Amino acid sequence: MAETSASGAAGPSGDTEGSIYPLTVLYCEVCGFPPEYCEFGSHLTKCKAWLEEKDPALFERFYGEGIDLKKASKQFATKFATGASVSKNPQGLDEIVVQGDVTDEIVEMLEGNVGVLKGVPEDNIVCVEDKKKKGAAEQS
């Protein structure tokens, strides 16, 4: 019979069905984080280059949408007759900022793969709504 650890799972010496083994985690050689956290480090460009060379499939999963954000913002501005622009978020990554209350319509466009938005994974769709600023009359 195979040796079992305190948790009851068999070790590498004896395979049993349903055993849980330690996972092998890939760490970025540039920043030391797992690749999905490189965006929070200070060397994102170098991390991307390292990941593209080390694991092209994982690079494609994280960074390979290939969507031109400027064209997408132009599509939103034209469709909804509102302001839309590409700007940097606090992490230094590009994001599309759209003025107006068109969040639901944009999500529908993204989920429907309309125009230049084809291929956006649903996991990458995040709605962030800014709180409205108080007007001068409300502050008094």
pLDDT score recorded for residue 32: 92
Domain boundaries, the chain: 20-64, 69-124
Q: How does DSSP classify residue 135?
A: P
What's the confidence (pLDDT) of residue 131? Answer: 60
The answer to whether residues 38 and 51 touch, using CB atoms and an 8 Å cutoff, is yes
Taking residue 36's Cβ as centre, other Cβ atoms within 10 Å add up to: 12
- pLDDT tens digits, 43-74: 888 998 999 899 888 888 787 666 778 888 88
**Pick from 84, 93, 94, 99: nearest CA to 44:** 93
In the prediction, which pLDDT does 14 show?
52
For the chain, residues with pLDDT lower than 50 are 1-11, 140
pLDDT at 12: 52
Say what the pLDDT of residue 30 is. 92
Q: Which residues of 104-128 are buried (b: 16+ CB within 10 A; e: fewer)?
A: eebeebbeeeeebbeebeeeeeeee
Q: Give 69-124's CATH code, choosing from 3.20.20.30, 3.40.1000.10, 3.30.780.10, 3.50.50.60.
A: 3.30.780.10
pLDDT of residue 13: 52
Beta strands 94-98; 84-88: pairing state: antiparallel
Q: Which amino acid is at 94?
A: D
